[in-house]
Amino acid sequence: MGRHVKFNQEGYIRALQRALYSAMEKVEKEVFSAIVRNFGALQFRELDVKYVADMRRAIRYATTRTIEYIVSRFLAGYEPIPNQSFRLVYYEYGTGTKMRPPDNYSPSDDPYWNDARPRKIGEPIWTRPTSSWKDAGGNWHTSRNRGKPRPLPETSKYGRPIEANYWFREGFREGTVNLDKYVLDAVKSVPITSYISIANIYKRM
């Protein structure tokens, strides 16, 4: 900023980061509360009931990671072991004939798609060929299907589609209504003038 005016940029960024993380802690609590509320209202398939506890634990991880991403973006799905958190995505975007994925999703790019099932959105759930396969959570399965792979009827517990609930997206929308205010208050709480220094005028003379 010149020979006589200095700006402590590193100090200002560190102080701003601290203020932003404090603001995001408030947002995270509100987001987590909204998401858990929406999650608790879901109607789970018989097949998924036993995984509800694992799914609930994954919500905290996903919420925290997303909040950290918001902070890093302002200034500028990974799991270590096989898990059941991918089921959360089923209840967000739906499955089978009720699948409503994001606009940029394409079955042709999905490495976990059942190869026997036609790669198009809205296709019924199919049985798998007799083989071993890995699901999106890193869990191995062995298909013991006898006969040619086929679409499963929606009356089957294995073929029952899941409605797209958008519970996570709506939870984030509900939980971040105060985001702008918290961020603005955080930025205001770090006076930039405290990090600007001017050389003594008498020394310059």
pLDDT the model gives residue 4: 65
**Which amino acid belongs to residue 143?**
S
Return d(Cα 203, Cα 4) in angstroms, integer: 10
Return d(Cα 7, Cα 195) in angstroms, integer: 6
pTM higher than the cut 0.85: no
pLDDT the model gives residue 101: 92
pLDDT the model gives residue 48: 86
pLDDT the model gives residue 53: 81
Straight-line distance from the first to the last Cα atom of the chain, in angstroms, rounded to the nearest whole number:
20
pLDDT the model gives residue 76: 46
pLDDT the model gives residue 88: 85
Report yes or no: 193 and 5 within 8 Å, Cβ to Cβ.
no
Report yes or no: 92 and 163 within 8 Å, Cβ to Cβ.
no
pLDDT the model gives residue 200: 60
pLDDT the model gives residue 32: 80
Measured CA distances, 6 to 3, 16, 189, 195 (Å): 7, 18, 21, 8
Q: Beta partners for 141?
A: 133
Return d(Cα 128, Cα 198) in angstroms, integer: 72
Weakly modelled stretches of the chain, pLDDT under 70: 1-5, 60, 62-82, 199-205
Torsion region of 17: left, alpha or beta (phi above 0 gives left; psi -120 to 50 gives alpha): alpha
